[in-house]
Structure 1
Amino acid sequence: MKNLHVVKRGQVNKYEEIITYLSQDECYWLNNDVWDVTKEIFIGDKVHNCKHINFENFNNVLLKNEIKYYLLYNFRNKNLTGQYMMSLANGFKHFSSFLNKYYYNVNSFNDIEYKEIENKWKFYLANNSVKVNMQKSGGQTIISILLVIKFIIKFYDNRDETEKDVWYIKNIKGVNVRATQNMSANRLNFKDIPEYYRETVKRYFKTIITKKSFSLCCNILTYIRYFFTSFYSRGYKDGFVENLQREDIEIYVYLLLNDRKGKSKSQTAYYISYLRRFLEYIQMAQYDKAPKKEVAFLIFQDDIPNYSIESNTKRAVKFIPEPILKQIDNNIMDLPHPEFIPIYILLRETGWRGTDILNLRYDNCLEQIWNNKEQKYNYYLCGEITKTGIAQLKIPVRDKVAEMVQKCIDKAKELSTEENNSEKYLFNTYEGKDKGYPLSKRILVYSIYRLISDKNITDVKGDLYHFKLHSLRHTRAKEYVEQGMGISVIQQILGHQSLQMTVHYATVSENILYEKWKKTEDLDLFRVNTETNELEQVDLDSEDGQNLVRYEYVKKNLDAVKVPFGVCFKLAKLPCKQQMNFCLTCASFCTTVENIPEYEEEIENVKKQINISERCGRELWAEKNRTYLKLLEDTLEKVREQKIVHKNGKSREEVR
């Protein structure tokens, strides 16, 4: 503990943490400067035919202990392999000589600027004729030894994460990040934001980091970074944001559109729309460095490219052709990575997103619920749908699939510890840098591609058939529809927020379309007389004729569909305005006393969702469900009083 009286404030306790860690195994790591890798408490065997890691040449004890801590901590947490650690140790001869020459009297790597030591290290290597070939692992390891410094600097940094210039998402509570994202590698880097505006941008991100998804926050930072880079590269100085004029924005938009010519119009639009949101917020919140002129007079709606045509094209649903699907299903047991077989089967069985399947937890993903009609227990798959904010969605699965899930649960319980699977993922990674995270969706996709290649699964043109994982969801939705399942039931199974999204997915194949069309032939206004083989016009004054006219009118002009709690009588030519809201508030919606049991059941379900959300700490979801609950209760009260609730009533059919 020599010289610790001059160590930075707060650094003493952190150094004591290092000493405590190295004091494990009867102080073997602290007291020995030669580590025997063949010991059972270490690697247990020679590495590259070497038996020892030698620290004897490091004269500065404080730096030596920090290096020891870096190696031992990262090896035991499986961030470093034995081979890589031994490669680092082979560079200790040069590194110790370098530290003894330049940093013999410093108390910690934390006292050294990283850029300073990096430049000196490279200069030292060059002066001592040490060739560094970055194309070879040896050369990379010589440079990578500086990762010790980065690790130690980060270790000593006790500031709140949002005070730093690089935010590691795993250190910020409440961030909306998918289970399939490796939080140890996810960060927001503000270092490229000009120093003058960096705190302003970081303050803004504090307000959105727990409200928006992490991936969206990354994109927003990219848009804002581009904005600052564009202005500073053209000679603008600190303070330009406060004095922005419309002319400045016009030039920026012009250069942006030229820079992104031929690229995604929707992404280009985000560069402007999210910039406008940022400037509007800091202006309304009265940030010191906000624009003085109203943002409404700086950025106009017309500045944002219209990308509606492109977005409609992109949203075209991609179904996997049935012959292709059968080939994949029949060969799935030959998947190159067999641990992904249950994941594929669940994707096919449920139609859930890949992230939802990978987010399943072994302690609550399978449940048995009593079926009064069949007088037996049925299996349900239970999971959290993060995209739409459903804390717990339960859908029925076949017994054979449930048996498979139970085997996965038993295996996960056997392999899991608090150290390697603290989140209790059903499909977990138990070692390596992704330890404690679900299996990789990227590797799943790669395995399916390998299977397609190995089994020569081709399309009609003879090309290997590749698809995005999300196509399995589209395909399952189509299968549900073709099997006659109600659209509102499909909405619940898929975990959609709105019927509009379910309808978008749930189209039918041409064969099914033909079968349904055939059944409506007898509704034609003109019918064939089988005796004379001539067309005969239907008598429109007859009862059949009146019913037929009414049917044809409704079919052509109204989009009458069954929705939860009632029926929608929206005009076919009008878009659904409730895609992101509830049908309950729509003028086209009609509900009666017949729907009262649905309201009562849904109210109980929403109350349960609120309890689950509060228990899981999902306050945002709980608040949304409380809003929904009030809407349900208010509508139910109106139905009980008025018997029928339909805002526009008869006028809907009178509209021409």
Structure 2
Amino acid sequence: MSTVYRPVPTPEKWREIEETLTGYWEKDRWDITDPIFDEFRPERWTLPNKIIDFSRLQPGIKEEVKFFFIHRLREYTLRLQTAVSYGTCFARLADFLKQVYPGIGSFTDFKIEIVMTRWRSYLVEQGVSVNKKGRLSSTQYETLLQQVYQFMLNFYDDREEFEKNVWDVRKIPGAKYTQNESRYLLSFEDIPFPFRPLAKRYLKVRVGIRSYSQCNTDLIALRLFLRFIHEQYPHWQDLKKLSRKDMENYLAWYRSYTEGWQKQHRDCLLSLRGFFDYIQRAGYPEAPEKPHFSLLFKEDFPKRAIRSEEDIKFIPEGVLKQLEENLEQLTPSQYIPIVVLLRATGWRISDILNLRYDNCLDRTAQAGGSAAIFPKLRC
């Protein structure tokens, strides 16, 4: 019987945390007006709070939260404004942990599903409002706990990335992702356990040849489909007996579940068809015995919406003219070269932000000129 792997803090990992929390970062009260935050702080600060106070958090938890903040700030995947906003949750989080988990010293000791349920109940008792859908009106409390938990779990997990249930594509050689975006995780935790190895094997191939965005769509498609099949056939360990009737039942449920998804509705079906096609051609032992074209028909796919000129959003010419005439007044001034490149090239903002000064030009054999190198276009 397989056991669930749970990473734990090791002396080596804890030493890395201690080495990070030196100098200014040793303090339990961070003043974001300090020069150490200059590279993270916007020129115009709109929040009234300028202090992040970790002092009430219990030992172990406090160091992990600080480590999370430092890493995410340095990676530019956490804005300083968001960090300060999270800091306003610390008082309640500290009181909650002291009441419910007084002896806990690491986020890895949590069973996150149980903790989140108790955390929500505690917050409601403390007067945090609930919206009409029964969810907390302020999402930062839940987001903080979930993000720190997941971050520390990944940090302590020394297994090969493909063995984990949550992949960080930044750690996968050859993975294609946009560096200026904060999305880089692929989670298999919601894939039913019997089908998880199948999903991982397939995504291991995809992550090296497709973008993160496409892989995420593939994963959503697999998650929806495999959970549906697992509910219908809890004893199934593979998809060998999958039939057209099963697909008809799935499509009926899927149309209802994805109502309003528009583009994503079609994209997930295309991902599912690609999944069936590949695992059959590759000879996966779990693959359906019936050929993929007898499982999903052409008419199962909604027609692609045709966009009219009215659907395309343009910036009015007058606004663009004002921008060009007052470009030198743009603040911060670091944005000026970006705007110039956007106007001169017509490229997407993600392409511009991925340019690197030392290798942004390359000679092209076709035109004999120069062309920008975009990470997402590399083979």
CA distance in 1, matches of 2:281, 2:148: 40
CA displacement at 1:162 relative to structure 2: 1.9
Q: Distance in 1 between matches of 2:48 and 2:131?
A: 24
User: Which residue does the alignment assign to 1:274?
Assistant: 274
Are the counterparts in 1 of residues 21 and 67 from structure 2 also a CA contact under 8 Å?
yes
Aligned to 1:374: none
The match for 1:543 is none
Q: Deviations over 1:513-544 (max 9, x none)?
A: xxxxxxxxxxxxxxxxxxxxxxxxxxxxxxxx
Match runs of 1:472-483 below 5 Å: none
Aligned partners of 2:33 and 2:50 also within 8 Å:
yes
Distance 1:226 1:157 in 2: 27
| CA drift at 1:279 | 3.9
Distance 2:294 2:83 in 1: 56
Q: Alignment partner for residue 298 of structure 2, among 304, 316, 328? A: 304
- The Cα RMSD (Å) is 4.8
Distance 2:376 2:63 in 1: 45
* Distance in 2, Cα, partners of 1:138 & 1:245: 42
Residue 17 (1) aligns with residue 16 (2): yes
* 1:185 corresponding residue in structure 2: 183
d(CA) in 2 for partners of 1:191, 1:230:
15
Query: Under a length normalisation based on structure 2, what TM-score does the superposition of the two structures give?
Result: 0.69
- Specify the code of the residue in structure 1 equivalent to 2:324: M
State the shift of 1:345 in Å.
Answer: 1.5
Query: Which amino acid counterpart does residue 299 of structure 2 have in structure 1?
Result: P
**Does residue 169 in structure 1 map to residue 166 in structure 2?**
no
Q: What amino acid is the match of 1:239?
A: W
State how far apart, in whole Å, the 1-side matches of 2:90 and 2:193 are. Answer: 37
Q: Identify which of 98, 115, 118 aligns with 1:117.
A: 115
Q: 1:172 Cα deviation (Å)?
A: 1.4
Structure 1 residues 380 and 363, CA gap change in structure 2 (3 angstroms) = farther
Which structure 2 residues correspond to residues 62-81 of structure 1 after superposition, within 5 A?
62-75=60-73, 79-80=77-78
C-alpha displacement at 1:201, in angstroms?
A: 0.9
**Equivalences for residues 520-559 of structure 1 within 5 A:** none
Provide the C-alpha distance between the structure 1 equivalents of 2:36 and 2:161, rounded to a whole number of angstroms: 34
Is the CA contact (8 Å cut-off) linking 1:176 and 1:213 kept in structure 2?
yes
- How big is the shift at 1:326? 9.1
Unaligned regions of 5+ residues in structure 1, if any?
Answer: 1-6, 370-378, 390-620, 622-656
Shift, 1:317, TM fit: 12
Matched residue SS, 2:235: coil
| CA shift for structure 1 position 42 | 5.7
- Partner Cα distance (1:176, 1:206) in 2: 12
Given the alignment, which residue of 303, 313, 333 partners 2:324?
333
Pair 80,315 (structure 1): closer, same or farther in 2 beyond 3 Å:
closer
Contact kept in structure 2, 1:166 and 1:188, CA below 8 Å: yes
Superposed displacement of residue 363, structure 1: 2.3
Once the two structures are superposed, residues 26-83 of structure 1 have per-residue CA deviations (whole angstroms, 9 ceiling, x without a partner) of xx543x5455556544679x9977676544444x422222233334444555555555
Aligned in 2, Cα 1:74/1:281: closer, same or farther, shift over 3 Å? same
1:362 aligns with 2:351: no
Larger relative contact order, structure 1 or 2 (CA cutoff 8 Å, min sep 6): 2
Would you say 1:251 and 2:240 are equivalent positions?
no
Q: Partner of 1:346 in structure 2?
A: 345
1:197 correspondence with 2:195: yes
Structure-2 change in CA distance of 1:362 and 1:118 (3 Å) = same
- CA distance in 2: counterparts of 1:266 and 1:87, whole angstroms: 37
SS of the residue corresponding to residue 299 of structure 2 reads: coil
Q: Is the 8 A contact 1:63 1:108 kept in 2?
A: yes
1:160 aligns with 2:160: yes
Distance in 1 between residues matched to 2:316 and 2:84, nearest whole Å: 48
Deviations 1:119-177 (A, max 9, x none): 222233344x3434679x99444444424333323322222222222223222110234
Amino acid in the other structure paired with 1:13: E
- 1:185 deviates by 0.9
Letter in 2 for 1:150: Q
Are 1:161 and 1:172, in contact at CA under 8 Å, matched by a contact in 2? yes
* Secondary structure class of the residue paired with 2:370: strand
Q: Does 1:239 align with 2:248?
A: no
Letter in 2 for 1:16: R
Distance 1:40 1:15 in 2: 27
* Cα distance in 2, alignment partners of residues 222 and 56 from structure 1: 40
In structure 1, the residue matched to 2:103 is 105
Matched, 1:384 2:379: no
Which structure has the greater CA radius of gyration? Answer: 1
Partner amino acid, structure 2, of 1:152: M
Amino acid at match of 1:196: P
Q: Give the secondary structure class of the aligned counterpart of 1:61.
A: coil
Alpha-carbon distance change, 248 to 333 in structure 1, aligned in 2, over 3 angstroms? same
Give the superposition deviation at 1:210. 0.7
Unmatched runs of 5 consecutive residues or more in structure 2: 1-5, 331-335
Counterpart-to-counterpart distance in 2, 1:301 and 1:35: 58
Does the 8 Å contact 1:170/1:183 carry over to 2?
A: no
The residue number in structure 1 matching 2:3 is none
Name whichever structure is richer in strand by fraction: 1
Is contact 1:360-1:384 (8 Å) kept?
Answer: yes
Distance 1:304 1:148, change over 3 A: same
Distance 1:170 1:77, change over 3 A: closer
> 2:333 matched to which residue of 1?
none
Distance in 1, Cα, partners of 2:356 & 2:281: 38
1:223 touches 1:275 (CA, 8 Å); kept in 2? no
Residue 641 of structure 1 corresponds to which residue in structure 2?
Answer: none
